[in-house]
Structure 1
């Protein structure tokens, strides 16, 4: 989890598109959203978040192949505090176990 979330940023996420789409509604919580091919628009207060994603080549470490997704986050008209709260919850929900 980050300490600050800018209005625009991109992430390289270790997930498949199927896993992403399964977890996304839970991560968005009570926020209304519209899903389309490779993107989602999320209503946050008076503004919105545009999520756009596409698969990346897998990361290969020895015999391990990890699927990856490039995800772009663009907040439009979302207050700073609302953006920070939304992303903290989003990150906690999307966080995966590790060790």
Structure 2
């Protein structure tokens, strides 16, 4: 993802649709129905394009006891919520 850990922490409560979030040092757990999403992240070197420097974060999504339809719905909402606009 093109963000910093602090940005992802700010976005996650809204991006998870208001679900309960339990924070960890480099991750979070989100309750989805009777299951959970375990998010883990690691900072990557920034992407440099000419004089532009973009942060990068490797994010792992690990769903536990979450059905396929719920996963797809969560990821669609998360993806739309975290998109950044551009000109």
TM-score range, shorter chain: over 0.9
Partner in structure 2 of residue 53 of structure 1: 41
Deviations 1:33-92 (A, max 9, x none): 201101101111111100000111000111111111110000111011111111111111
1:66 aligns with 2:54: yes
User: TM-score by structure 1 length?
Assistant: 0.83
Q: Secondary structure at the match of 2:31?
A: strand
Q: Moved runs in structure 1, 4+ residues, more than 3 A?
A: none
Q: In the alignment, which of 31, 55, 73 is matched to residue 19 of structure 2? A: 31
Q: Secondary structure at the match of 1:66?
A: strand
Query: Which structure ranks higher in relative contact order (CA pairs < 8 Å, sequence separation ≥ 6)?
Result: 1
Q: How many residue pairs are counted as aligned between the two chains?
A: 87
User: TM-score by structure 2 length?
Assistant: 0.93
Quick one: distance in 2 between partners of 1:31 and 1:18?
19
Gaps of 5+ in 2: none
Quick one: distance in 2 between partners of 1:64 and 1:33?
33
**Pairwise CA RMSD:** 0.9
Quick one: distance in 1 between partners of 2:30 and 2:44?
23
